[in-house]
Amino acid sequence: MNAITAPSPVVAVRNVTKRFPGVLANDRVSLAFHAGEVHVLLGENGAGKSTLIGILAGMQQPDEGEILIDGQAVRIGSPRQSLEFGIGTVFQHVLLVPSLSVIENLMLGGGWWGRLVKAPALARFRELSTLLGVAIDPDAIVGRLSLGEQQQVEIMRALWRGEKVLILDEPTSMLTPQGVRDLGEVIKRLRAKGVAVILITHKLLEAYEFGDRISVLRLGRVVGDIPPERLSAMGEAEATDAIIELMFGKEAARSGEAETLVDTAHRQRQVARDRAPRLTLRGVSTEAARGECPLREVSFELWPGEVLGIAGVDGNGQKHLAEVLAGQRGVSAGRIELNGGDITGAGVPARRQAGIRYVTDERLGEGTVGIFSVATNLVLKEIGRPPYWSRGWSDWDGIHGHARDQIGRNDIRTPSERTPVAKLSGGNIQKVLLAREINSEAQVVVFNKPTYGLDLQNTRLAHERIIASADHGIAIVVISTDLDELIKVSDRIGVMFQGRLAGIVENGPDIERRVGLLMTGVEAA
């Protein structure tokens, strides 16, 4: 299907297959990457994009198939070899040592025993700074840079030993709209210099905006390919249709999943704000912890049945906001009220009793205990309280019965209620969390990145769940870095910038621009 077309590609994979326990991550994938071309790999979570770049980056070995570099079959046995072949990768997670300076991070990998000679490294640093058109202090400690700057350092590191191929894995997920534009500039410059850029994304619009060629992956296979000559002839709408057809097939192109992907409709709903607010924050601040952005005088009101979206680049205080609402973190100043009553000093159990729920984004990090059973995780926030505990004794039969009930009701796919929760898929772990947090007693629910890492079907379910909860009169806060998602579910959208709530805007036609301005701190509402 992927005719390896002339002129000869810089890098190509041919019939690459990679299996993981229970999953066929890559199934006879063949792709060719050309110099001076931005090649977009598009697909939803679990489509096999990450595995493919893992193979090109030398982190994983294919079970079958071969990798060609300049027409020669090669084996990329380690990240080092990948770099030596001129393939640089910028991963989704920051892979820099936070305690080292920029230049030290870039020199990392330069060898084993020698003295650090900075002069040549600085020369190369300036060369790349010019190439990328960025200005960063080489002696700055990486941990103190913004995420956008860290990403620029990562791109430099990827290009450090050669500028043949640059792989970018979901590079826009942690950037401001301005940062995305800057990245676009960098990509254009690199393309002009003849670098083969491989861009991994799950966002249609990005694929169209940045890509010269688009390949679509689904369930480990390449299901389609739009070459440059075809893509350049298409308009945006036309391209979108073509890609959706590739992703879902002709007849399914208008299915729910496709809609989830392209639906950018604004939520239009009337929320009655003439009564007393359900939740009120007045001047809430927190103390700074290492590497975290504290809150500074955050105030807002939230009414029953309303969905308040919180947008912003990661690391602008969203984590503290969620934790303060859940009662996990104390405030240093300010006041929080629920239905007019002061709950500022209440901890997690008291807030939970009062109906405040928190669906965390760190599903395995803090939301669940991975080695514990699904059943235990479903009552993790109730330990010691009736009905499953009396006088401190556990009623395991009751706990397991409750779990079987919830598993059936919430369609949690698990072998049994005794299965360790870490063995479930991300979507099913999310269902466990939703089952635990959302019930008839919920008054306020805080969602942090509710669809992060989920496939389209589970993303749609999560969105439906949020809207359904709001329709039941629950007041909802949704924190997300995905603006499209917020536009889809929110009544109003607030923007966090450097720990402050830079402003709240009503959802409406012009919202992208207004939120974008708030995100960069240009405009204070």
Partner 1 sequence: MNALLAQPFLTALVFGAITAGIPLLLAGLGEQISEKAGVLNIGIEGMMLFGAYAGFVAAYYSGSFLVGFVVGGLGGALVAALVMLLCIRFGLNQIVIGIAVTLGFEGLTAILHHFQFSRTYPRLAAAPVVDIPGLAAIPVIGPGLFSHNAMVYLAVALVAVLAWAFRHTYFGLNLEAAGNKPAALDAAGIDVMKTRTIAVLCTGLLAGVGGAYMANVGAGIFVPFMTGGAGFIGIVLAMLARGRPLWVLLGALLFGVSLSMTTALQVAGVNIPTDVVQMLPFTMVMLVLVIFARHSVLPPALGLPYVRGDR
Partner 2 sequence: MSASADIDLTAAEQERQERRREILAAVLRVLIPVMAALVMGGIILLILGKNPLDYYGFVLRRGLLTWGGLQETLTRMAPLLLIGAGLIVAFRAGIWNLGTDGQFLIAAVLSAALAPALITVLPDALTIIICMVVSMLAAAIWSLIPAILKARYGINEIITSLMMSFLGVSFANVLVKLFFRDPATTVPQTMSLAVEDRLPRLFDTTIHLGLIIALVVIVLVHVMMTRTAFGLKLQVVGANPAAAVHAGLRVGWLTIATFAISAGLIGLGGAVEILGVWGVVRADWNPAFGLLVVPLVFLARFNGYATIGFTLFFSALMIGGDSAARRVGVPNDFVLVLVALLLIFLAVVEYLDHLRRKKAGA
Binding site for partner 2 (CB under 8 A): 21-22, 326-328, 347-349, 352, 358, 360, 362, 365-372, 376, 380-381, 383-384, 389, 392-394, 396, 416, 423
- The listed partner (partner 2, partner 1, none) that binds 111, CB under 5 to 8 Å by sort, is partner 1
Decide whether 95 or 219 has the Cβ nearer to partner 1.
Answer: 95
Q: C-beta of 325: minimal distance to partner 2 in Å?
A: 13
Rounded Cα gap, residues 376 and 417, in angstroms: 9
Residue 14 C-beta: closest distance to partner 1, Å: 23
Report CA 346 to chain centroid distance, whole Å: 31
8 A C-beta contact, residue 314 and residue 174: yes
Q: Residue with structure tokens 């020369």?
A: 123
The CA dihedral of 193, 136, 119, 132, to the nearest 10 degrees, is: 0
Q: Cα Rg for the chain, rounded, in angstroms?
A: 24
Question: Which does residue 360 bind out of partner 2, partner 1, none, counting CB within 5 to 8 angstroms by kind?
Answer: partner 2
Distance in Å, CB of 451 to partner 1, minimum? 20
For residue 387, whether the previous peptide bond is cis, meaning omega lies within 30 degrees of 0, is yes
DSSP H helices in 163-266: 177-192, 204-210, 228-233, 236-248, 256-262
Compute the least distance from the CB of residue 332 to partner 2, in Å. Answer: 18
Alpha helices in 355-425 (DSSP H): 374-378, 396-409
Cβ of residue 22: shortest distance to partner 2, in angstroms? 5
SS (H, E, C) 123-187: HHHHHHHHHHCCCCCCCCEHHHCCHHHHHHHHHHHHHCCCCCEEEEECCCCCCCHHHHHHHHHHH
CB of 372 to partner 2, least distance (A): 7
**Options 36-44, 86-94, 247-255, 497-505: segment touching partner 1 (CB under 8 A):** 86-94
State which residue, 51 or 172, has the beta carbon closest to partner 1: 51
Which residue bears the tokens 């009662």?
Answer: 327
Structure tokens given for 314: 């990661």
Neighbours of 13 (CB within 10 A): 23
Rule CB under 8 A: choose which of 5, 8, 15, 78 binds partner 1. Answer: 78
The yes or no reply on residue 89 touching partner 1 (CB under 8 A) is: yes
What tokens were used for 383? 């330990």
Which is closer to partner 2, CB of 5 or CB of 353? 353
What are the Cα distances from residue 82, in Å, to 15, 41, 74, 89?
19, 19, 10, 9
Stretch that binds partner 1, among 96-104, 174-182, 262-270, 403-411 (CB under 8 A): 96-104
Of 39-47, 90-98, 182-190, 305-313: span binding partner 1 (CB under 8 A): 90-98
Nearest CB to partner 1, comparing residues 82 and 260 = 82
Residues 98-137 that bind partner 1 (CB under 8 A): 98-100, 104-105, 107-116
Q: How far is the CB of 151 from partner 1 (least distance, A)?
A: 14
Cross-sheet strand order for the sheet of 23-33: 23-33, 11-20, 64-69, 72-74
Distance (Å) of CA 304 to CA 33, 271, 273, 495: 52, 8, 9, 21
Cβ atoms 331, 286 nearer than 8 A: yes
- CB-nearer residue toward partner 1: 35 or 364: 364
100 interface partner picked from partner 1, partner 2, none, CB below 5 to 8 A per type? partner 1
Q: Choose between 36 and 349: whose C-beta lies nearer to partner 2.
A: 349
Nearer to partner 2, 303 or 358 (CB): 358
- Closer CB to partner 1, 287 or 411, in the complex: 287
- Note whether 140 binds partner 1 by CB under 8 A: no
What mask of x and - would describe binding to partner 1 in positions 143 to 182, judged by CB under 8 A? Answer: --------------x-------------------------
SS3 assignment, position 71? coil
**Distance from C-alpha of 420 to C-alpha of 371, rounded to nearest angstrom:** 5
CB 90 within 8 A of CB 151: yes
> How far apart (Å, rounded) are the C-alpha atoms in residues 475 and 467?
10
Q: How far apart are CB 123 and partner 1 at their closest, in Å?
A: 18
Pick 2 or 328: Cβ nearer partner 2 = 328
Instruction: State the binding string over 37-66 for partner 1 (x if CB under 8 A, else -).
Output: -----------------x--x-xx------
- Considering the rule CB under 8 A, would residue 84 count as an interface residue with partner 1? yes
CB 507 within 8 A of CB 491: yes
392 binds, among partner 1, partner 2, none (CB under 5 to 8 A by kind): partner 2
The set of long-range contacts for 105-113, using a CB threshold of 8 Å and a minimum separation of 24, is 105/142, 105/153, 105/157, 106/138, 106/153, 106/156, 106/157, 106/160, 108/157, 109/80, 109/83
Out of partner 2, partner 1, none, which partner does residue 93 contact, by CB within 5 to 8 A per kind? partner 1
Q: What residues line the site for partner 1 (CB under 8 A)?
A: 54, 57, 59-60, 78-84, 89, 91, 93, 95-100, 104-105, 107-116, 157
